[in-house]
Structure formats: structure tokens, C-alpha cells
Amino acid sequence: MLEVYRTVRRSEAAEIVIKKSRFIGHVKPVETEDEAIAYIEQIKKEHWSATHNCSAYVVGERDQFQKASDDGEPSGTAGKPILEVIKHQKLKNVVVVVTRYFGGIMLGAGGLVRAYTDATVAGLAAAEPVYRALHQEVRVAIDYTWLGKVENELRGRGMLMGETAFTDKVTLVCLPLYAERERFTAWMTDLTQGQADIVEGEARYVEHEEQPAVGDG
């Protein structure tokens, strides 16, 4: 699993108008190539009367699934520009479909490239690019006498936290970056003088506005 990657937060669309032609940039985060293909077909059905539904996607840990379609536009004027924007923004697991309703004025090859590029940029901005970072759930069970000290230290580190459970002990659910999980466990063991029961849970992705740096906790 990738420890950090950039994608979009949600499915969204944005429209621009260029010389009376409507260009609608539809964007969706996906996990598989099949999802990307299904989304393209969905948009084509929803906009069956459009002049073109051009598309591109980048999927996979190594960006191994990439495809672009001009859907009848002159070769290289639609699908490739869409794909290049996705790659330029270093996004993955993203599919984009730009729907065009022709307004009667020819744009020329250069104009088409700019139009499909701008519609893609607008759609991606609406879908809000985010970083997804892999975090490791670590459950830390401590006696109540340790709670104040441990919570203060965790706050100082800016540690992401899950829900705290209060039983005969206090169980704190901490979410260090996956790459920091062993260092975190060693630090917590030292902080509590070996008196904490520390158990790893599941690894899961958490969204970040900025790219998290390993070493920040």
C-alpha cells in the first residue's frame, strides 16, 4: 500500500463556456480501473446528447492503468490534455470526463487543447485535491494516573486521535503515520516507563490538506 498519495476528495463537476461551447469537467476518485470505466459510461449515458464525452484516468499504486479518449475530437486535442493535467497535478486514482456541447464556433486544435485543459483544471479544483496518508491505529491502555501526562505529550506532537475508551483503564486510540508506527510505539513505551499496554489495530488512510512529512509523528 502507498504510504502517501494525492487524489481528489469527492465526485464533482464544473462548467466553463468557450465561444458558446459548454465544457463540463466531471471528476471522480476511484480505486480500480473498472470503476473508472464505469464512471465514463455513466457520464456518457447522462449526457448522451452531448457532442463529445472525452476522458482520461490514472489508476494504480504505480499509475499502471492510464487511458485517454478523444471521443471523436481531432486526435490529441482532448483525451491527452485531460491526462496531462491529471499527471501534472500528480494525482492518482482519478477519472475525468469532459463533456462538450458544441456552440457552433470552431475552436481549432490549439483552442480545443486549451478548452479541455481548462475544463479539467476546473473540475479537479471543484473535487478538491487532497493527500491520503496511511496511518496505523495504535491502542494505548494506561492507568488513569498517566492520563494527564500522556495526553499532554500527544497534544504537543499534534497526534491524530480516535475515540478514547474509559474502563478500568484508559485506552487511547492513536493514529501515527504508518512509517512512524515503530518509532511511536518505542516513544510511548519510554514515556510510560513500560507500563502501557500497546496494541496495533488496522492501518487506514486519512485525508490531509498538505502532504505530511515522515518524522512529524
The answer to whether position 36 is within a domain reads yes
Question: Residue 57's domain is classified under what CATH number?
Answer: 3.30.230.30
Q: Which domain holds residue 85?
A: 4-127
pLDDT for 212 equals 85
∠ Cα 145 151 157 (to 5°): 145
**What is residue 79's three-state secondary structure?**
helix
pLDDT for 134 equals 95
The answer to whether position 215 is within a domain reads no
* Length of the chain in terms of residues written: 217
pLDDT for 217 equals 43
Is 106 found in the same domain as 10?
yes
Is 95 found in the same domain as 55?
yes
∠ Cα 128 9 7 (to 5°): 85
Name residues whose C-beta falls within 8 Å of residue 107's C-beta, 6 or more positions apart in sequence: 18, 19, 21, 115
Give CA–CA dist 77/214, Å, rounded: 40
Q: Which pLDDT tens digits describe the chain residue by residue (217 residues)?
A: 889 999 999 999 999 999 999 999 999 999 999 999 999 999 999 999 999 999 999 999 999 999 999 999 999 999 999 999 999 999 999 999 999 999 998 899 999 999 999 999 999 999 999 999 999 999 999 999 999 999 999 999 999 999 999 999 999 999 999 999 999 999 999 999 999 999 999 999 999 998 887 654 4
pLDDT for 213 equals 76
Is 148 found in the same domain as 168?
yes
Helices (H) and strands (E) in the chain, counts: 5, 10
Task: Indicate the residue among 106, 127, 148 that finishes a domain.
Answer: 127
Task: Indicate the residue among 105, 127, 149 that finishes a domain.
Answer: 127
The answer to whether position 214 is within a domain reads no
The percent of the chain in helix, strand and coil, each rounded to the nearest 5, is: 35, 35, 30
In 3D space, the residue among 102, 193, 80 whose CA is nearest the CA of residue 142 turns out to be 193
pLDDT for 214 equals 61
